[in-house]
């Protein structure tokens, strides 16, 4: 997501605010309320990065939740074992 933000900011600062057919910049993109015009390749590149970063975020959150669930189960099992040892001793 940081990479996508960096590219978006760069595009916002450097790309034209109106279509430029000579440079094939006619694909509009709204970046923080500013419309810039980019090539199809630039549009595809940034879209892939944005979609990929969102996918990685979802996968990371899912893996984090699985880890926390397993860690919590391990902690509960350890606490039960400690209680059983205290009761026996």
pLDDT digits (tens, 9 = 90+) for 55-80: 999 999 999 999 888 887 787 778 77
CA–CA dist 44, 47 (Å, integer): 5
Whole-structure pTM value:
0.67
Q: 3-class DSSP state for residue 62? A: helix
pLDDT grade, residue 89 (50/70/90)?
A: low
From the CB of residue 15, how many other CB atoms can be counted at a distance below 10 Å? 19
Q: Is residue 39 within 8 Å of residue 19, measured between CB atoms?
A: no
Q: Is the pLDDT of residue 48 over 80?
A: yes
């Amino acid at each position: 997501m940081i990479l996508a933000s960096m590219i978006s900011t760069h595009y916002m600062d450097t790309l034209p605010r109106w279509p430029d057919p000579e440079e094939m910049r006619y694909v509009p993109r709204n970046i923080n309320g500013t419309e810039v015009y980019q090539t199809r390749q630039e549009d595809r590149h940034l879209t892939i990065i944005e979609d990929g970063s969102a996918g990685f975020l979802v996968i990371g959150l899912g893996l984090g939740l699985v880890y926390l669930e397993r860690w919590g189960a391990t902690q509960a099992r350890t606490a039960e074992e400690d209680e059983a040892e205290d009761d026996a001793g």
